[in-house]
Amino acid sequence: MRIRRALVVVESPAKVKTIQKYLDKGFVVKASLGHVKDLPSNRLGVDVERDFAPQYVALRAKSKALQELKRAAAGAEALYVATDPDREGEAIGWHVAQELALPADKVYRVLFNEITEKAIKAAFKRPGRIDLRKVDAQQARRVLDRLVGYKLSPLLWAKVQRGLSAGRVQSVAVRLVCERERGISEFVPQEYWTLDARLAGGEAPPFAAALRAKDGEKVALAREADVQAVIRELDGLAFTVSAVTTGERKRNPAPPFITSTLQQEAARKLRFSAQKTMLVAQQLYEGVELDAEGPVGLITYMRTDSPRVAAEAQAEAREYIAGRFGAEHLPERSPTYRARRSAQEAHEAIRPTSALRLPQALAGSLTRDQLALYRLIWERFLASQMRPALYDTVSVDVAAGPYLFRAQGSTLRFPGFMAVYVEAEEEPRAEGGEEQAGLPPLAIGQRLALLGLEPKQHFTQPPPRYTEASLVKELEEQGIGRPSTYATILSTIQQRGYVNRERGGVLVPSELGQVVTGLLVANFPDVLEVAFTAQMEESLDQVEEGDRPWVETIRTFYEPFAKDLKRAQREMTDLKEGRPTDEICPRCGAPLLERWGRYGRFLACSTFPKCTFTQDVGDNGQAVEPTGEVCDRCGKPMVVKEGRYGRFLACQGYPRCRNTKPIPVGVACPEQGCDGALTERRSRRGKVYYACSNYPRCTFILWQRPFPEPCPKCGAPFLVERSSRGRRTLACSLRGCDYRRDADESA
């Protein structure tokens, strides 16, 4: 029977106009604005005693949208659920269908990975039904997260401070950041040395060869003395080419984007946060107004963990590549890329809906951010369909007595996919790296001229701090969270104050994050265990696949969790009561306790409220000593604090008094007529500099640290500290005066 009038429900209003233009007039497209029902905000909303039954309520904020949907459904013969093609979209459609109360046989599910005319019409020709297995998987995740959040958060309010929160996945993400920070703080650098020989053959250019072995054994240079011993032994020895090996290296293109890799690459190349990346990608997916075509969806669905590409899209890409770059850039057959085991293969990778829609042609229709992200997606997809790049490689062994030096070089012979795109973290190395851009023609037995020996001191480096990009990669590799959750996880842990995003984009745990994580790890080892969380994600996948009942999944988690919760309520350290310290109150002589408040740790008198003395606690757990500076607002001591842009002075009376000021260095501003003093500052890029306290009225700036001592040679008001090759010196601040002495010498 032909349907004369049907209601189509999507999530976002931005999709309505785009989809409506592709459907017959009998279809009316409306937006639900996301979820219309959810667990209540003022109570647990999960009946633990009755198989964890969720108690959904209609969202008050969506009442207007829901009423509009009901009016539109009143005369409809059928409902087509066209929400996003994932668990969340399935659950939204299920709730909408419940609220609209149409007969089950009149409710259809349409799925599409891109909002294009072809995809929309194909989906409506073959509608299906709401997948209750996906609904169960989403419901299980929602119930799990509610149980953790509503049970753990009140515990933290009681033991630490009110307003804190915990989450099943977010707390594990914070743990990863905290453990990385601990690894950095505990890291002990190890010294080592390398030795390069600068050599020249018969033709230019000169090249560097690194010391590799002695008498066939690998050389380890732990100290400078080891290097100097080798240099002495090399004195007078001839350097001769002992082997030349040529070959070919193939470099394959990266797969088209999935959610995690898009977030990582957008962070590296565009400096986008994960949240911004998903926001802009959503706009490109839902539809952008193009002058000639009206609203058009420009990319496929952006929440996916599958690198699969439709055959039609591959064919279109091959057509463009052949015409633009030549047939030699096309592989014999379109490449396929392997997804991880838990990926939803029904989804596609993130790609342009048409490879023929070039980024430069859209410049007038997109915002700067939209164009930048679209270009990234378009280039990555085109590159993924091209041939590998080919390098000619050469490795040269150079013998000097018992010692072996080796030089390696490569030359790009065929760019392949690199004609379009190169991953940000894999940019070609500059000359001087381990592999050189090219080596001169060399032959076995050829005598080489030694231009010099270059010993270099190195120290092993601690593990790097996470960035948003590397944390997303770690979460994905550990199986924590899913594509739709990464951006939310990252934004939540920063909004809660557990993790700070500092200069250079690195993620650093706050003291609050470290304290809360320590308490949770000690009292809820399973919930905060990375492997356990990954196993729960696999269980949710099994629910979606129909291999595991969702109630069983919840019960397996909740029973040990409930036992841990009861024990933690009795045994978890209560930071509100305070920890004993060895400090004595300077006012009344009573012991001081370490307490935790809204603004972090502090020392307080144990006789409070009789004695109200408090004092800040530094990062090392010790009381912060006054600086000698006094707050000009309330008269309390000023203490040194560390902020986003470096150190500064803050009133000890914080938060009652929020006075702050830069750290003075004891040197008056040298500008004529200025009564200011030089203060320590830090630029947005993290570099320390010194500026006048009267800024912006006085703009004097100095990049070397000023030293409060007049020049004994010319009388300049101060010296400046300089450093070169590990040696610190004090020099005159005036140009033209050559006074200089070691920094550790007396004046």
Burial class of residue 635 (count of CB atoms within 10 Å of its CB; 0-12, 13-18, 19+):
exposed
User: What mean pLDDT is predicted for residues 716-741?
Assistant: 81
Considering 80, 285, 301, 654, which one is annotated as catalytic?
Answer: 301
Q: How would residue 316 be classed by pLDDT, with cut points 50, 70 and 90?
A: very high
Quote the Cα angle for 487-493-494, to 5°.
90
Q: How would residue 663 be classed by pLDDT, with cut points 50, 70 and 90?
A: confident
* CATH code at 6-130: 3.40.50.140
User: What mean pLDDT is predicted for residues 573-600?
Assistant: 84
Q: How would residue 431 be classed by pLDDT, with cut points 50, 70 and 90?
A: very low
CA gap 448, 213 in Å, rounded: 18
CATH topology for the 162-186+468-571 domain: Topoisomerase I; domain 2 (1.10.460)
Contact status, residue 613 vs residue 629, Cβ threshold 8 Å: no
- Helix H, strand E, coil C: the string for 267-291 is HHHHCCCHHHHHHHHHHHHHCEEEC
**What local confidence, expressed as pLDDT, does residue 673 receive?**
84
Alpha helices in 126-251 (DSSP H): 132-159, 170-186, 224-234
Instruction: Give the count of beta carbons closer than 10 Å to the beta carbon of residue 722.
Output: 14
**What local confidence, expressed as pLDDT, does residue 612 receive?**
84
DSSP state of 427: P
User: Which of 171-175, 176-180, 219-223, 620-624 has the least mean pLDDT?
Assistant: 620-624
3-class DSSP assignment, residue 530: helix
Is 80 exceeded by the pLDDT of residue 601? Answer: no
User: Class for domain 191-252+389-459, per CATH?
Assistant: mainly beta
**Digit-coded pLDDT (tens) for 228-252:** 999 999 999 999 999 999 999 999 9
User: What mean pLDDT is predicted for residues 79-94?
Assistant: 95
Task: Give the global pTM.
Answer: 0.78
User: What mean pLDDT is predicted for residues 262-278?
Assistant: 94
User: What mean pLDDT is predicted for residues 274-284?
Assistant: 95
CA neighbor of 406 nearest in space, from 422, 394, 415: 394
CATH topology for the 259-275+291-384 domain: Topoisomerase I; domain 4 (1.10.290)
Is 50 exceeded by the pLDDT of residue 426? Answer: no
Q: In what order do the strands lie in the sheet with 614-616?
A: 579-584, 591-597, 600-605, 614-616
**What local confidence, expressed as pLDDT, does residue 298 receive?**
96
Residue 698 neighbours by CB under 8 Å, 6+ apart: 669, 671, 674, 676, 692
- What would the DSSP string read from start to end of 536-571? HHHHHHHHHTTSS-HHHHHHHHHHHHHHHHHHHHHH
User: What mean pLDDT is predicted for residues 557-578?
Assistant: 91
Task: Name the residue type at position 741.
Answer: R
User: Which of 295-309, 313-327, 557-571, 731-745 has the least mean pLDDT?
Assistant: 731-745
Domain boundaries, the chain: 6-130, 162-186+468-571, 191-252+389-459, 259-275+291-384
Residue 150 annotated as catalytic: no
Burial class of residue 349 (count of CB atoms within 10 Å of its CB; 0-12, 13-18, 19+):
buried
Is 60 exceeded by the pLDDT of residue 621? Answer: no
3-class DSSP assignment, residue 312: helix
Q: How far is CA 527 from CA 39, 134, 357, 499, in A?
A: 22, 24, 47, 19
Share of the chain above pLDDT 70, in %: 92
User: What mean pLDDT is predicted for residues 367-396?
Assistant: 97
CA gap 126, 552 in Å, rounded: 34
**What local confidence, expressed as pLDDT, does residue 634 receive?**
83
Residue 732 tokens, joined = 């005159």
**Digit-coded pLDDT (tens) for 489-520:** 999 999 888 999 887 889 999 888 999 999 99
Instruction: Look over the chain and give the mean of its residue pLDDT values, rounded to a whole number.
Output: 89
Is 90 exceeded by the pLDDT of residue 291? Answer: no
**What local confidence, expressed as pLDDT, does residue 561 receive?**
94
Is 60 exceeded by the pLDDT of residue 412? Answer: yes
Q: How would residue 747 be classed by pLDDT, with cut points 50, 70 and 90?
A: very low
Task: Name the residue type at position 118.
Answer: K
Is 60 exceeded by the pLDDT of residue 745? Answer: no
